[in-house]
């Protein structure tokens, strides 16, 4: 964390570590000048979705002398928010002016921090409408009573004190937001005919929309930023790498992989050519975040790439066609890939998962995930390892078969044992798709697209024995899910490949604590678009096992 402090006309750079604390810590800048206090106190603040819900008495030391800077008196507090939990990044750092109220007090702390070449300021933040604080400010010290106008201004200014991490500003009351990233495409002409409110005819359009999905936000459901995409790309899924510093967008229409730098706004995107890949589907990342693996359903290939340069390094030809879902477990050096359907007509459904040695790309074998005679037509589609399971265990959804399977590592055989563990037909649901886990890995979430549900399973008793707790209705085509870091809300994207009867186009907001629907976002749907995938921006996004 870096920020500027202007003291007595001398601007110096401050740096703080990124570790959250439960106590006040002293940090200091690198200069020791006459009449300059080198120390700042780091004061932890209780946060909830980036909003302050509690604060220290040191708030009374904050004042706003003029619109373009903050003024701190005494030994100024610095709010040490849960930077790691918020996953913050960007370039919106605040500039602070520190004033020493006791010019005779001196501390010669040797814990000095060096200059940093990364300097930014956040004057734009101060252009936000000023609202009262969510908590009552304390009485100011005597040296703060010199200017009652400043005191009043301070009470109106939403307290971002001195500095917080890059990209983080303490939001004012009423300015809460949770931002989601959705890639979208035009609905088909036939789908538009069914709209009660007609949508004007349009040429095919694709893009990525950044949408505020916070039900408590005044801009709930609004698009705050868009990224255009080629109309023939057919962008499919969005995947974060392990540290969420980059987002990867796969494409069904071109042999390309697009990579978004998540540290910059507006978002910057680069295009990676993957000529051996037709119909790019899923991307996963090695646990050290150095390698990515891309499935290509149209060319029966696995592409391995360098996650630093994002250049492909190896192409693996697979024994089974239509690879789609992929999961990696570096602890056992294995990749698992599903055999789904032919991309051109969604027929010729597969029935197996393929096992690949992750370090070499060598194909080790296949496993049938069906109890029916071959060809079973199950179409296994997604696969995901349960975080921390011992022995390693992965869940598999059979899209056409309507079943849930497991692949459990057998250390004696150094291979997997597969078994069916749930039939969605028993609860009148079909087309199971995506798989997610909560942070404790005692809950399993599976979407079913027909008629559209988020199914919640208890796996606390045994990772491979799911017990259905509840099926929460979403909408037809229930597909990808984004979950907030606090696991309060889940956002279900309701559309599957623009298919009739499976492409509602809405986002269902689910309160996971209450186990009920909290809202629906129809922003894209009402404009004649279908969202194809959803993730929250990194500061809000829970990896959910991915």
Q: Which pLDDT tens digits describe the chain residue by residue (546 residues)?
A: 444 444 444 444 444 444 443 443 444 433 333 333 334 444 444 455 444 444 443 333 433 344 333 333 333 333 333 333 334 333 333 333 333 333 333 333 333 222 232 222 322 332 333 333 232 333 333 333 334 434 433 333 333 333 333 333 333 334 579 999 999 999 976 655 554 455 555 678 999 999 999 999 999 999 999 999 999 999 999 999 999 999 999 999 999 999 999 999 899 899 999 999 999 999 999 999 999 999 999 999 999 999 999 999 999 999 999 999 999 999 999 999 999 999 999 999 999 999 999 999 999 999 999 999 999 999 999 999 999 999 999 999 999 999 999 999 999 999 999 999 999 999 999 999 999 999 999 999 999 999 999 999 999 999 999 999 999 999 999 999 999 999 999 999 999 999 999 999 999 999 999 999 999 999 999 999 999 999 999 999 999 999
Q: Which of helix, strand or coil describes residue 132?
A: coil
Q: Which residues contact residue 212 at a Cβ distance below 8 angstroms, ignoring those fewer than 6 apart?
A: 177, 178, 179, 180, 219, 220, 221, 222, 224
327: nearest Cα among 264, 395, 250: 395
> What does residue 296 show for φ and ψ, rounded to 5 degrees?
-125, 100
Q: Is residue 469 part of a domain?
A: no
Q: Which residues contact residue 472 at a Cβ distance below 8 angstroms, ignoring those fewer than 6 apart?
A: 453, 454, 455, 456, 510, 515, 516, 517
Q: Is residue 284 part of a domain?
A: no
Q: What is the SS3 assignment for 487-514?
A: CCEEEEEECCCCCCCCCCCCEEEEECCC
Q: What is the DSSP string of 313-370?
A: EEEEE-SSS-EEEEEEETTTTEEEEEE---TTTS-S---EEEEEETTT--EEEEEE--
How many domains, in total, are found in the chain?
1
Helical residues (DSSP H) of 8-103, grouped into ranges: 83-86
Rounded to whole angstroms, the Cα distance separating 262 from 269 reads 9
Rounded to whole angstroms, the Cα distance separating 429 from 440 reads 26
Q: Is residue 423 part of a domain?
A: no
**Under 8 Å between Cβ of 513 and 218:** no
Q: Is residue 358 part of a domain?
A: no
Burial class (CB in 10 A: 0-12, 13-18, 19+), 223: middle
Q: Is residue 65 part of a domain?
A: yes
Q: Is residue 161 part of a domain?
A: no
**Under 8 Å between Cβ of 101 and 132:** no
C-alpha separations of 493 from 1, 17, 142, 317, 483 in Å? 35, 37, 55, 32, 11
Q: Is residue 39 part of a domain?
A: yes
Can you give the pTM of this predicted structure? Answer: 0.70
Measured in whole angstroms, the distance separating CA 251 from the mean position of its chain's CA atoms is: 19
323: nearest Cα among 365, 380, 405, 388: 380
The residue assigned the tokens 């986002």 is 507
Q: Is residue 424 part of a domain?
A: no
Which helix (H) or strand (E) is 396 found in, with range? Answer: strand 393-398
**Under 8 Å between Cβ of 470 and 515:** yes
**CB atoms near residue 498 (< 10 Å):** 18
Question: Domain span at residue 50?
Answer: 2-156
509: nearest Cα among 491, 527, 532: 491
Rounded to whole angstroms, the Cα distance separating 315 from 309 reads 16
Helical residues (DSSP H) of 128-255, grouped into ranges: 148-156, 189-193
Task: Extract the tokens encoding 519.
Answer: 């809202």
507: nearest Cα among 526, 537, 540, 531: 531
Q: How many residues does the chain have?
A: 546
């Amino acid at each position: 964390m870096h920020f500027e402090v202007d003291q007595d006309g001398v601007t110096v750079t401050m740096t703080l570590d990124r570790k959250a604390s439960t106590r006040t810590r002293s940090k200091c800048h690198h200069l020791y000048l006459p009449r300059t206090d080198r120390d700042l106190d780091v004061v932890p603040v209780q946060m909830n979705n980036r909003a302050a819900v509690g604060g220290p008495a040191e708030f009374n030391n904050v004042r706003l002398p003029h619109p373009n800077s903050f003024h701190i008196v005494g030994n100024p507090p610095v709010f040490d928010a849960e930077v790691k939990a918020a996953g913050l990044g960007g370039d919106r750092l605040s500039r602070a002016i520190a004033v020493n109220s006791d010019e005779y007090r001196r501390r010669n702390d040797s814990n000095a921090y060096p200059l940093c070449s990364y300097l930014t300021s956040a004057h734009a933040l101060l252009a936000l409408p000023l609202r009262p604080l969510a908590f009552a400010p304390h009485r100011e010290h005597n040296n703060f009573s010199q200017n009652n106008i400043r005191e009043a201004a301070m009470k109106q200014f939403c307290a971002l004190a001195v500095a917080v991490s890059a990209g983080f500003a303490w939001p004012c009351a009423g300015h809460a937001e949770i931002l989601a990233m959705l890639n979208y495409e035009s609905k088909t002409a036939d789908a538009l005919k069914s709209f009660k409110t007609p949508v004007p005819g349009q040429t095919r359009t694709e893009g990525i929309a950044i949408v505020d999905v916070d039900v408590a936000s005044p801009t709930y459901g609004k698009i705050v930023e868009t990224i255009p995409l080629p109309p023939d790309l057919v962008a499919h899924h969005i995947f974060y790498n392990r540290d969420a510093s980059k987002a990867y967008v796969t494409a069904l229409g071109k042999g390309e992989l697009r990579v978004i730098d998540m540290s910059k706004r507006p978002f910057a995107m680069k295009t990676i050519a993957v000529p051996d890949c037709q119909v790019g589907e899923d991307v996963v990342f090695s646990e050290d975040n150095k390698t990515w693996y891309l499935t290509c359903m149209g060319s029966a290939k696995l592409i391995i790439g360098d996650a630093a340069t994002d250049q492909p390094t190896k192409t693996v030809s697979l024994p089974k066609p239509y690879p789609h879902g992929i999961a990696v477990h570096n602890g056992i050096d294995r990749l698992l890939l599903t055999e789904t359907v032919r991309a051109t007509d969604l027929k010729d459904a597969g029935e197996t998962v393929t096992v690949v040695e992750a370090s070499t790309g060598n194909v080790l074998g296949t496993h049938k995930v069906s109890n029916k005679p071959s060809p079973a037509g199950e179409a296994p589609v997604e696969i995901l390892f349960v975080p921390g399971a011992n022995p390693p265990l992965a869940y598999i959804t059979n899209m056409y078969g309507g079943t849930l399977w497991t692949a459990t590592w057998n250390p004696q055989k150094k291979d997997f044992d597969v078994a069916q563990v749930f039939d969605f037909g028993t609860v009148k649901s079909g087309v199971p798709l995506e798989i997610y886990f909560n942070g404790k890995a005692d809950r399993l979430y599976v979407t079913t697209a027909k008629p559209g549900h988020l199914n919640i399973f208890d796996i606390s008793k045994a990772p491979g024995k799911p017990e259905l707790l509840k099926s929460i209705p979403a909408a037809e085509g229930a597909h990808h899910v984004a979950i907030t870091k606090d696991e309060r809300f889940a956002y279900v994207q309701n559309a599957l490949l623009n298919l009739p009867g499976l492409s509602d186009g809405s986002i269902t907001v689910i309160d996971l604590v209450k186990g009920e629907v909290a809202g629906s976002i129809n922003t894209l749907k009402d404009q004649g678009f279908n969202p194809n995938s959803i993730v929250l921006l990194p500061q809000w996004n829970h990896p959910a096992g991915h």
